[in-house]
Amino acid sequence: MLLEKKLDKTTPVPLYFQLKELIMAEIKNGTYPKDSAIPTEKELSDMFDISRTTVRQAIAEMVQEGWLYRVKSKGTFVSQPKINQDFIQKLESYNDQIRRTGRTPHTEVLDFKVIQATPEVADRLKIQPEDKVIYLQRKRYADDDPIVVLKTYLPYERCSFVMEHDFEKESLYSVLSRDNSVQVHCVKRLVEAVEATASDAEKLNMKKGKPIQFFTSVGFNAFGEPIEFSLARYRGDRSSFEVTVFTEK
């Protein structure tokens, strides 16, 4: 319980940061479950003998990072915990990732058709700009929360068979794995932080300008040939991504 905790005023670590860490620890261990209220600014100020400005800074950062949310005239409450994903360091389906967190995944197909490759898509897939590609846009959920909108492009000449599948029920990587020439063996990913657009706000049930984790990915087959080009936009307040780094020997 927070009442049993103390801040160390002798260290150079800012008090607001110490308070933030204490509250986050209490959320993670279940003391404050989803939608429960945390102590008020005044209560926290009195509890730790710190200024309300310090408390306000800690709370503001936790709201910005998606740990807490405010309700006018009612208080500050605990948000839905972020989904910790490690897909950036392994090849695993979204459904498997979400199930490992104890939540239920499902997918909504927003668009699925054959189009002409744009110059960017053609360059990523190493095909000609006039070549046809399969365009698949999906919105993916954890329980009832929309988590990511994903746009995927595949070279039609090599992957035309995927048009026969239902990607609200099937995994794209699983379908591709049925043909060794287009099975994805490795993926190069780039991630950057961007602001949510009006489209993100509508599709992901969030506010425009809030953080989005934007992934650009290219999947390669066993021969190093690009098979898949994807653009994924994850809600920053619902997702965190884990990377394990090993030292060189």
| Tens-place pLDDT, residues 176-218 | 999 999 999 999 988 898 999 999 999 998 889 988 899 999 9
Mean pLDDT of the 4-15 span: 89
Comma-separated ranges of CATH 1.10.10.10 domains in the chain: 2-78
- The predicted pLDDT at position 57 comes to 94
The candidate with the shortest Cα–Cα distance to 65, out of 4, 124, 23, 10, is 23
At a CB cut-off of 8 Å and minimum separation 6, what does 106 contact?
140, 141, 168
CA gap 73, 132 in Å, rounded: 55
Instruction: Give me the CATH topology for the region 83-241.
Output: Chorismate lyase (3.40.1410)
Bridge partners of residue 247, in order along the sequence = none
Q: How far is CA 113 from CA 15, 39, 164, 167, 187, in A?
A: 54, 51, 11, 12, 23
For the full predicted model, state whether its pTM sits above 0.95: no
Give per-residue pLDDT as tens, 42-59.
Answer: 999 999 999 999 999 999
Kindly indicate the confidence band of residue 3, based on its pLDDT and cuts at 50, 70 and 90: confident
Q: Is the distance from CB of 48 to CB of 7 less than 8 angstroms?
A: yes
Topology of the domain covering 2-78: Arc Repressor Mutant, subunit A (1.10.10)
What stretch(es) of the chain map to CATH 3.40.1410.10?
Answer: 83-241
Average pLDDT of the residues in 210-230: 93
